Amino acid sequence: MAIVFIDTNIAIECLKGNQSVIHKIKSFERVYINDIVIMELYQGARDKRELNYIKKHITRFEILNINQEIIALATKIVERYSLSHNTKIMDALIASSVIMYNIDLYTINQKDFKYLKQVRLV
C-alpha cells in the first residue's frame, strides 16, 4: 500500500461524502495533508457549523509539517513558474511538501501540478 498527500479538493470531496474518493483514499496506507490544506478548508467554511464539521473530520488525516526547506523550494517554484503557469503560493507549498517528503499527490486539479516533473500525481 502507498502513502499519499491529498490536495484540498480531494479533502473537500471526502468531507462531502464522495464515495469514489473515499474508496480511493481507503486504499492508501497513510493519507497526509499539511497546514496549507487545513487553512484552505477553514477558509472555505460557510459558517461556524461547517467549520466545526471540518475540524472534527480532518483528524483522520496525518499532518506533514511545513519547514524552512519546503518554503524555500516553494519560493523557487513560484519564481520559476508563476508567470508561465500561473502557479499559486498554496499550490507551490503543496508541491514542495510532496517533493520534500517524496510522496505522491492525489488531486483533481492535475493541471496545477503536472508541469512539475518531481511531483508524482495519483
Look at residue 95 and tell me if it is in a domain: yes
Look at residue 119 and tell me if it is in a domain: no
Look at residue 41 and tell me if it is in a domain: yes
Look at residue 122 and tell me if it is in a domain: no
Structural domain boundaries enclosing 106: 3-112
Look at residue 14 and tell me if it is in a domain: yes
> Cα-flanking dihedrals φ and ψ of residue 31, to 5°?
-125, 125
> Distance (Å, rounded) from C-alpha 65 to C-alpha 1?
22
pLDDT tens digits for range 85-119:
999 999 999 999 999 999 999 999 999 999 999 99
Dump strand ranges (E) for 1-122.
3-6, 30-34, 62-64, 104-106
State the number of CA atoms in the 13 A half-sphere of 75 facing the CB. 7
Segments in 86-110 forming alpha helices (H): 89-101
Residues 54-72 have a mean pLDDT of 95
Q: What is the pLDDT of residue 1?
A: 58
| CATH number of 83's domain | 3.40.50.1010
Domain count, the chain: 1
Q: Model's pTM, two decimal places?
A: 0.92
